[in-house]
Amino acid sequence: MGHRIFTVSFASVYPHYVTKLEKKGRTKAELHEVIEWLTGYDDAAIARHLAEETTFEEFFDRARINPNAPLITGVVCGVKVQDIEDPLMQKIRYLDKLVDELAKGKAMEKVLR
């Protein structure tokens, strides 16, 4: 049995990413930049996933994960992302970690390893 987050739509979480970043002075364009870096999805593809309300599982199934994604390390929700065994959960947490780093004011060059 998978985690509940796997069946949650990307569209339902996306506004929370935007709000978190905008509160910290970052932009939706910067969010899209990190999503594109991680998944290969451009703005049109992101818009399609939002419109279709694809689940996180579908969202990451279709993604071309950046070969540098394993360089994303650190803790999200009390768990080290590099130690997560479930590949899908790890990809979701990679995205969470990138959003966290942006929100904390990290330079884009550092976020995009």
In single-letter form, the type of residue at position 112 comes to: L
**Mean pLDDT along residues 42-52:** 97
pLDDT at 106 over 80: yes
Q: How many residues does the chain have?
A: 113
Domain range summary for the chain, segments of one domain joined by +: 4-108
pLDDT given at position 77 = 84
Structure pTM? 0.92
Q: For 64-102, what is each residue's pLDDT tens digit?
A: 999 999 999 999 888 899 999 999 999 999 999 999 999
To the nearest 10 degrees (0 to 180), the angle between helices 87-103 and 28-39 is: 150
Between CA 78 and CA 20 the distance in angstroms is 19
* CATH of span 4-108: 1.10.8.290
Q: Which residues neighbour 113 within 8 Å (Cβ) at sequence distance 6 or greater? A: 68, 71, 72
Distance CA 18, CA 14 (A): 6
